[in-house]
Amino acid sequence: MTVAGETTQTSNTSLSHKLTSTTPFLSLKLYAVIAILVLCLLAAALLIFLCVCTTRASRKRKMRVKHSSGSIPLVSKEIAEIKSPSPRAVLDIGEGKIGNENVKEVEEEMEIVDIERGKGKRSALESDGSGPQNIGWGRWYSLKELEIATRGFSPDNVIGEGGYGVVFRGILQDGSVVAVKNLLNNKGQAETEFKVEVEAIGKVKHKNLVGLIGYCAEGAQRMLVYEYIDNGNLEQWLHGDVGPVSPLTWDIRMKIAVGTAKGLAYLHEGLEPKVVHRDIKSSNILLDRKWNPKVSDFGLAKLLAPESSYVTTRVMGTFGYVSPEYASTGMLNEWSDVYSFGILLMEIITGRSPIDYSRPAGEMNLVDWFKGMIQSRRGEEVVDPLIEVQPSPRAMKRALLVCLRCIDLDVNKRPKMGQIVHMLEADDFPYRSMCYFFNIKITFISYLLATYLPICRKPDQPDRKIVSLPVQLHLIMFNNQSKHAMDRNEARYGSGDYYVLAQEVVPEAIRLLIMILH
């Protein structure tokens, strides 16, 4: 028995000696190297698992949403004009008492393509002649070419109409499909809108702005030729007959909102002079087959010079989208577009029109109803019931908060469009659910590590089995986060080498790893 005991003691001593021996790797002890390897393996396994999860999630997002075969009505593009900029002309947008939540505004970082705006256009545009006019930009189309492309401006080719003109689908001689906007010449209105659109987006190129290809200016005729977007507009998909389940899922709706915000951010912050659209609404957001949005209809746009904070103009816009300060004073700036975008985002989330007289009295005005629902803590009920899969609470709250920020009656508290882009793109932490998984598994992992890591004894406390981790390893992995734990263990076990219980170190290490990944 004595011999056997001595053999066991010798074996333990030899094992302890080997584990505490110095290795060539950073001059660390053997047990420290083993601990590092185990943690590296765990981290590698975690990363592999997360990569697999990310790949699967991205594949699901890329799945094509099936196009609805339901009939989609033509959308009204009528623009209401507010003739008097007096205080009485303020739209009833609701004075809800919703407090503004403090949101850390993220500074915008956008890659801006410097587009040199054309010079000398005004003189060319203002020339009055009966013959064809070439304004020195884009492609000039003859009236005959556009008549052939639209089959004589056939009513069968009409894809949209409003107070300022009719939009036709056309096929040019080279086979390309275009949208031809024939401006109505009421009291020189066609000439005015023609100038505005050419000046605003004549040379602008952005994936979320509809492209202006060319023009026609013959006699009194003024036409604009745009790229053709073949999937209708947002209003048709939100309010048309699309069946019991909307093809616009939450992710698609947020994609549309973010794309629209990017287009407006480019107009406000990427051009000189900046462009204020002045008529942001769902019918002016065109969609392609991949649900990419393109802001269209710049007939009411205004250019804002760098030295000007606003421009005073006759109040025009679409009822329900016009900002209250613009409606009451006629002073227009980019914050008016921000307000209109907030209304548009509400419309995207709720599936409701800004003004709907078919609803009960308390629900006719979208802003009033929306604020009331938020105030009564029923925010989850505002989401469009036609959305089959409801959004996560975090994503929903983020979108609702952006709405409230955009429609703030205090103009100075509204975010810039670039900041709105960042707020909407601030995706949930994709591996957040994994944190919960690892948190509930910490005890089990601790048991495994405590079982298989080398066990040694502290000389002055032979009855206490502990895992020895040097201060250097603890500091290398967790930096200052470990200081409190080391001080605690020094007080418990005395000065000298630090000895940390496996049941304390492993859970702390995993929690810190999760926190860093978070």
Residue with tokens 């006629």: 330
Q: How far apart are CA 229 and CA 177, in angstroms?
A: 9
Q: Is 97 annotated as a binding residue?
A: no
- DSSP class of residue 335? H
Instruction: Give 290's pLDDT tier (boundaries 50, 70, 90).
Output: very high
Closest of 430, 441, 513, 516 to residue 56, by C-alpha: 430
Q: Which of 252-261, 285-294, 476-485 has the lowest mean pLDDT?
A: 476-485
Condensed to tens digits (0 to 9), the pLDDT of residues 411-444 reads 999 999 999 999 999 765 444 444 444 444 444 4
Q: What's the rounded Cα separation, in Å, for the pair 462 and 466?
A: 10
Total Cβ atoms within 10 A of residue 360: 8
Q: Is 427 a catalytic residue?
A: no
Pick the CATH number of 128-227 from 3.30.200.20, 3.40.640.10, 3.90.950.10, 3.40.50.2300: 3.30.200.20
**Dihedral through CA 462, CA 463, CA 467, CA 468, nearest 10?**
-20
DSSP 403-438: HHHHT-SSGGGSPPHHHHHHHHH----TTHHHHHHH
CA separation for the pair 77, 161 (Å, rounded): 6
Marked catalytic residue, from 279, 337, 356, 497: 279
pTM (global) more than 0.85: no
CATH code: domain 87-109+237-425 is: 1.10.510.10
- Tens of pLDDT, residue by residue over 70-106, are 333 333 334 444 443 333 333 333 333 334 443 333 3
d(CA 28, CA 21) in angstroms, rounded, equals 8
What CA–CA distance (Å, rounded) separates 399 from 367?
15
317-332 tens-digit pLDDT? 899 999 999 999 999 9
From-to residues of CATH 3.30.200.20 in the chain: 128-227
Give the 3-state secondary structure of residue 103.
coil
Tell me if 275 sits within 8 A of 293, measured CB to CB: no
Of 137, 153, 175, nearest in space to 221 by CA: 153
- CB contact at 8 A, 297 and 165: no
Residues of the chain with CATH 1.10.510.10: 87-109+237-425
Rounded Cα distance between 420 and 104, Å, is 11
